[in-house]
Amino acid sequence: MTEIRDVSSYLIGAWCPPDAEARPIHDAATGRQLARAGHGSLDTAGILRHAREVGGPALRQLSFHDRARMIKALAQHLDANKQALYDLSFSTGATLRDHAFDIDGGIGTLFVFASKARREMPDATVYVDGPVEALSRDGSFVGQHICTPLRGAAIHINAFNFPVWGMLEKLAPTWLAGMPAIVKPATATCHVTELAVRIMLDSGHVPDGALQLVCGGIGDMLDHVSGQDVISFTGSAETAARLRSTPAIQREATRFSAEQDSLNATILGPDVPPDAPEFDLFVSEVIREMTVKAGQKCTAIRRILVPADAIDPVITALCARLSRITIGAADDPETDMGPLVSSAQCADVRAKAALIASEAACVFGDPDAPPPVPGGAFFAPLLFFCRDPDAAHLVHETEAFGPVATLMPYRDLDHAVALANRGQGSLVASLITHDPEVARTVTLGAAACHGRIYLADRTTMKAGSGHGAPLPHMIHGGPGRAGGGEELGGIRAVLHYMQRTAVQGSPDMLRAITGRHVPGATPVPAPAHPFTRGFDALHIGETLETEARTVTLDDIETFAHFTGDTFYAHMDDAAAARNPFFPGRVAHGYLLLSFAAGLFVHPEEGPVLANTGLDALRFLKPVSPGDSVSVLLTVMSKTPRNPAYGEVRWHVKIKNQNAEPVAEYELLTMNAFDTPAA
Amino acid sequence: MTEIRDVSSYLIGAWCPPDAEARPIHDAATGRQLARAGHGSLDTAGILRHAREVGGPALRQLSFHDRARMIKALAQHLDANKQALYDLSFSTGATLRDHAFDIDGGIGTLFVFASKARREMPDATVYVDGPVEALSRDGSFVGQHICTPLRGAAIHINAFNFPVWGMLEKLAPTWLAGMPAIVKPATATCHVTELAVRIMLDSGHVPDGALQLVCGGIGDMLDHVSGQDVISFTGSAETAARLRSTPAIQREATRFSAEQDSLNATILGPDVPPDAPEFDLFVSEVIREMTVKAGQKCTAIRRILVPADAIDPVITALCARLSRITIGAADDPETDMGPLVSSAQCADVRAKAALIASEAACVFGDPDAPPPVPGGAFFAPLLFFCRDPDAAHLVHETEAFGPVATLMPYRDLDHAVALANRGQGSLVASLITHDPEVARTVTLGAAACHGRIYLADRTTMKAGSGHGAPLPHMIHGGPGRAGGGEELGGIRAVLHYMQRTAVQGSPDMLRAITGRHVPGATPVPAPAHPFTRGFDALHIGETLETEARTVTLDDIETFAHFTGDTFYAHMDDAAAARNPFFPGRVAHGYLLLSFAAGLFVHPEEGPVLANTGLDALRFLKPVSPGDSVSVLLTVMSKTPRNPAYGEVRWHVKIKNQNAEPVAEYELLTMNAFDTPAA
């Protein structure tokens, strides 16, 4: 007889084994008790305090790039140790293919967030949100939104189906924001989460207090939340509604984000005949969504919307494919689909399927058949067909969280959209079409009710990620029935754990706070030409003012003929003067940029390695022959890219002889940390 | 005896007078009944249905620019009719100075939103949120977030203190999003809101169903909300917590945004001596915040934090100024401060002041004195001093919503920050300092607990908008005690009424949906050179491919000496090769831009009026002497700017002889609608 595994919690810096009031965890395939987890009582106030007082300060002293490096190191460490997670995870009913979503997908999410944070966030502790807002005409009073980490704890309440991904996809943005997390996995699969936590803690990369794990019940923790905490919930709509109404959450206006199971639909475009590649793609997509994780996926396809005249070939194709699905032990490489997570889950799916059966005919499988494999939580796929989806309502409301889906016919695109929206808010809808107009109609009709719309055709077959896979780049969540929350979506996800604050004041004050130069701030004199100074030596606000150069008609002629840009505004005085923008012939914009570079560039070999780009160039006033231009070049911000060099963003202002700005832009260069030896 | 005014509701397209169960509305100065409003029963389901089925579709068929023009027209119409609002509003206790905030401020907010929407949103019905995300290496599968209007109704529950601004600041973003609104003003001042609604409806600019007004109670409306509705609440924390827990809101995950009164603090910087201009600024700011709207402002200063050694001069200065405040009839030009809104409000403020008095000494005014003017709701200012704000708690929790504030000493900046944060989440904190380091320390310490931080010094004295004034550009709201909501903040406010949806698919599909060209989408052949075609004739995706031009060493030399840009990477083969980015001498980036323009520009006079700017230029690969470059110029998006011309955004890709991209950018031109006559 196998020993029963003790699944511990990690609380206030220590592993705490389960106690006498622990709950049992069963093997999905055999139903035997495998482990136990949980505690009779928890010091929930102490757990929150530890997160707030130890974890928060530790994370907040790291920059966004430091946090990104920590997350990348954790991803690498998990990746190196993932076999242990695979081995343990079979006991939850997850197959190797399922591990790719849960374990590899979770690790991949960490990698993407680490990489996006280093690309899209500064190496600082303040995130600058949006542009500087001019709040006064004279530029003396400006505004800037900043985001800073909330000072509380992030409480992550996760679902059983993705014990690894479900934790990691929330941890990455939480930690990037600078918030500590308290992870409460669903008990049925918390032994896998516990192992992932052990691997992460063993790596030595997690700061004290940044991660706590509560296996079993969460006790009265939600009664102790404040307005600086965040609750991020994944699970059933019923549980979400119950938790959401906790008095402390209402009173403290605590952020509560819910991602709930939903009645996701897929739509076969009316343009797709049975012999088109999109038809096969559609069938494969449905089969995959019904069988990955045995359909226990919040994004799985529950409703299959098909043009009325395509119902027969679709049923035929789906039944043929479903009949070839091999159900068996999760660790058997021949298995297509493992068991559900528990026999309780089987009973629930069976009950929900019975509700669906009251409105739809079963066209594959038999709701009353005995389990396909005896002993554990095995459940064979069921495909229903609902002939009148307008009159029906249970098929749009009842989520059987297993390999169960319902086919429905639609008359036209408006009907398809209306049926998709009958889900009352879903995480995802997909549409298989090769017609951009069909894609436009369905997307604009369904977008308000869906957090994600997945469009597939022959051109995305190779690279498309599939209906069911949330990607770290794109938001995951949906309105109404889907919970109203939003996760992932790149840096958007990080901001859920930060407070956005409008800061108003003088340009000098804003520069001191954001660490970025703000146009209008007092220039900092440059002790030497900034192109002679290493990345680390440059000060924010350091400004070089150049000599002036007169732009002659001859310059314009020369430039036009050299480059081939003989646009009439530069060459034809009368035509230029007819133009609403120009008094007559004017200098080329690129001539001004080029002359500006000629004025500010320091030619000798030095720390400036390359001009890598330019942003937000605006030409503000035309330059006529005889005008002269000079340049103000100011260090705006700096972002290290590797140990050898970093990106410097310069604010460039070209002005004319009357000190009027003629062009402004932001210039990017890559600068070495130290002046290379001669 | 004055006639009692009937304040009607505007419901389902008709004005509905109050009925027998109407509530009385009293004149603030006299206490006499002035008007009545309210209904014994409301067809709340019908009101919601009218918004969803009539107002929503009408607004959604307008583009963002159409909606912006409608809002601008309403602002102009309100501005032309504002005297009537001034006249009526005196009865609420608001003075002329108060009208500037409520009436002019509300109209100004409409103007700012109208202008921002036309500048920052497309002339379309889909808002594109963030960049295209590359989801596959080969570019065949990409992602784009879009925002589309929610299909429900926006229910605005507003506070009594700003009957006009409170409505308009929510209407502007709601309508811009494309959502209809149901406005429920506080009964005490709903007669002013009713008049503003009448003025707007009379203008003929409000689409049917886009605006309904519920005066009096809102009945059981919140029991009928769905996940597509939005509730935006302004008022007390108690009411917010009660409404928020409505079962339908919890069940449907309806968006609920609350902006509650909060215990806002102002901090005098430790760097400010009594003879500095910042000292006077501080005193004026406090006096203004205590007396505008007689302190009935959710952003008013409730807690005044002052360095311990500055307490005496601050008390002296504040008392001197408070003693000069003239309290009287709101319509008397000599009046500095009018009455509170009602005697019930007076009683509430008096009760709250008594709580504060249990922890603080009254240093100006007398909580037990009779009203300064008999008859109505007049209330004289009270200034308290709390010697030990660490031990105290009522002063940090008790909001006396009137001309009442409490002074507190602080020891050092950390102490000041800790005290400011004792408000448990506030709408705004202000800091008067001339030291950027002080500004940085306080801002970063307090940002997580505040929705806005206002920094003032001698340089912002002229243009600064003041501690208490929410600006349409910047967010308004705060965490925790302040309600956790967010309003205003430019286009951010519009997105609260839209659903963000992640759309994934091929570049062609995304282009069809967003109406913007997506790199990688199939080029649309240009029937003629695009520079010869008017703004309206250009198709999204239309692409010009140019001839190639070889870049010679001579070109590089010529360009370097002509422009003065003799940077070593272009001039010195050995030095360039030592650089990690270059194989040897390379062409200037601006040479490439200039040659590209030479390749794609059509020189003759035509619809292209000017090159106005350039965005997101990235140099991707160096160009060496002997390489040749050609250009793909594609119409990316179009935005009309006035009846004569509009902005065209072009995607430009410069590639080399091996078809590798060497640079990509977005070019902006202003293009006339039709080719001008020769």
Q: Is B557 one of the catalytic residues?
A: no
* Structure confidence at residue A374 (pLDDT): 87
Q: CB distance A474–B581 less than 8 Å?
A: no
Closest CA to B594 of B530, B553, B654: B654
Q: How much is the average pLDDT of B231-246? A: 92
**Structure token pair of residue B190:** 């709903």
- Which residues of A are less than 8 Å from B145 in CB distance? 474-475, 489
**Cα–Cα distance list, A35 to A7, A18, A216, B603, B675 (Å):** 7, 10, 12, 78, 78
DSSP string across B130-175: EEEEE-STTSSSEEEEEEEE-SS-EEEE--SS-TTHHHHHHHHHHH
* Structure confidence at residue A526 (pLDDT): 87
Distance of CA B276 to the CA centre of its chain: 33
**Chain A: residue whose CA lies nearest to B116:** A133
**For residue range A553-584, what is the model confidence (pLDDT) as tens digits?**
999 999 999 999 999 999 999 999 999 999 99
Q: How much is the average pLDDT of B144-153? A: 98
A229: Cα within 13 Å, side-chain hemisphere = 29
Q: Residue A455: beta bridge partners?
A: A431
Q: CB distance B490–A130 less than 8 Å?
A: yes
* Structure confidence at residue B675 (pLDDT): 54
Å from B582 to nearest chain A CA?
Answer: 9
Mean of per-residue pLDDT scores for chain B: 96
Å from A156 to nearest chain B CA?
Answer: 18
- Which residues of A are less than 8 Å from B254 in CB distance? 484
CB A366 within 8 A of CB A383: no
How many Cβ pairs within 8 Å bridge chains A and B? 420
Q: How much is the average pLDDT of B362-388? A: 94
Low-confidence ranges of chain A (pLDDT < 50): 1, 676-678
- Which residues of B are less than 8 Å from A508 in CB distance? 436, 459
- Which residues of A are less than 8 Å from B502 in CB distance? 451-453, 474-476, 489
Closest CA to B51 of B257, B259, B231: B231
CB B426 within 8 A of CB B450: yes
The domains of chain A, with CATH numbers, are 26-35+42-260+493-498 (3.40.605.10), 265-470 (3.40.309.10), 523-672 (3.10.129.10)
Å from A358 to nearest chain B CA?
Answer: 25
The single-letter code of the amino acid at B317 is A
- Which residues of B are less than 8 Å from A670 in CB distance? 581
Å from A203 to nearest chain B CA?
Answer: 30
Across the interface, of A150, A449, A451, the residue whose CB is closest to B502 is A451
Q: What is the ipTM of this complex?
A: 0.96
Q: CB distance A564–B138 less than 8 Å?
A: no
Number of helices followed by number of strands (H, E) in chain A = 22, 29
Q: CB distance B447–A501 less than 8 Å?
A: yes
Which H helix or E strand runs over B184? strand B181-184
SS3 A162: coil
Å from A638 to nearest chain B CA?
Answer: 17
Is B678 a residue whose pLDDT tops 90? Answer: no
* Structure confidence at residue A2 (pLDDT): 64
- Contacts of B461-464 with C-beta under 8 Å, sequence gap 24+, read B461/B277, B461/B281, B462/A136, B462/A138, B462/A140, B463/A135, B463/A136, B463/A137, B463/A138, B463/A140, B463/A141, B464/A136, B464/A141, B464/A504, B464/A505
CB A149 within 8 A of CB A209: no
**Terminal CA-CA length for chain B:** 73
Residues of A designated as active site: 259, 298
Q: Which of B499, B539, B586, B602 to mutate to test the interface with A (most CBs of A within 10 A)?
A: B499
CB A208 within 8 A of CB A474: no
CB B329 within 8 A of CB B134: no
- Which residues of A are less than 8 Å from B475 in CB distance? 145, 500-502
Angle at B145 between CA B141 and CA B149, to 5 degrees: 140
Closest CA to B152 of B209, B203, B233, B69: B209
Contacts of B374 (CB under 8 A, 6+ apart): none
* Structure confidence at residue A3 (pLDDT): 87
SS3 A454: strand
Is B677 a residue whose pLDDT tops 50? Answer: no
**Terminal CA-CA length for chain A:** 73
Q: CB distance B228–A609 less than 8 Å?
A: no
* Structure confidence at residue B72 (pLDDT): 98
**For residue range B288-302, what is the model confidence (pLDDT) as tens digits?**
999 999 999 999 999
User: Residue with structure tokens 């005290």?
Assistant: B419
SS3 A518: coil
Q: How much is the average pLDDT of B251-278? A: 96
Strands A5-7 and A33-37: parallel
CB A146 within 8 A of CB B447: yes
Distance of CA A618 to the CA centre of its chain: 32
Q: Is B259 one of the catalytic residues?
A: yes
The single-letter code of the amino acid at A537 is A
Using CA atoms, how far apart are residues A378 and A349, in angstroms rounded to an integer? Answer: 11
